[in-house]
Amino acid sequence: PGEAIATEARRGYDLLVVGVDDAAAKRGGFHDTLSALVRNFEGSLAIAVARDAHQKDDAGGIAKVLVPVTGNENARRGAEVAITLAQAAHAPASTLSIISRTTKNRQQSRRETEAVTDEIKKIATYLKVKIKSEIRTDDDAADAILKAVKREKADLVAMGVSRRPGDQLSFGGIADTLLEEADCSLLFIAPQARGAVKSAPKGPEQAAAAG
């Protein structure tokens, strides 16, 4: 099955959504099997990790979505997906923006963060999603997210991330910590970079030869 998915992924799709058992490696980060599945995929990527109630019942609903947000474009685009998912699940959402204490111009950073938060609120209002927004100052973003999961009683963390270069799938340290320590389900959304040019799609014969 893994080889079939990897082969199919090379056929020019814009989005690949992957949910597999044992997504996390014991040593930390994503499992080698998952990395191999998505290695040659150049479009937007979404990795779903079912935990707690969702692991017991994969058809179970979503009670609340926590959306960690930073100022970068991928985080904003990921937040749009998260809010749309909350709408489909008829679930409330909560955004969490984190400003580091070591930020040089904290006031400017807060203004920028508030602007992004307002943008996401407008999307939620348009989609009629109940949303709560929070801005916190913390030097450990991953720990702040884990605390927010418990505080908000969220059963899904959905966040936009940036894919790191290399054969091993990685979305950075925050994602690795959530993958290792979070009790709730996770959805990592890595949009394709704007302006990126994908390789030409491969037909069945070409894809089979490449596999």
Domain boundaries, given as residue ranges, for the chain: 46-191
Q: What dihedral do alpha carbons 7, 180, 156, 17 form, nearest 10°?
A: -10
Tokens, residue 144: 């702040």
Place 208 in a pLDDT band, splitting at 50, 70 and 90. very low
- Taking the model in full, what pTM does it have? 0.86
Q: What dihedral do alpha carbons 28, 186, 195, 141 form, nearest 10°?
A: -70
How do beta strands 15-19 and 44-49 pair? parallel
What angle (nearest 5°) sits at the alpha carbon of residue 164, between those of residues 187 and 197?
Answer: 95
Residues 6+ apart with CB under 8 A from 95: 67, 68, 69, 79, 117, 120, 131, 132, 133, 134
- The two most distant CA atoms of the chain are separated, in Å, by 57
Mean pLDDT of 179-205: 72
Q: Which CATH superfamily is 46-191 part of?
A: HUPs (3.40.50.620)
State which amino acid sits at residue 158: A
Share the mean pLDDT of the chain: 86
Highest mean pLDDT (candidates 115-119, 128-132, 167-171, 199-203):
128-132
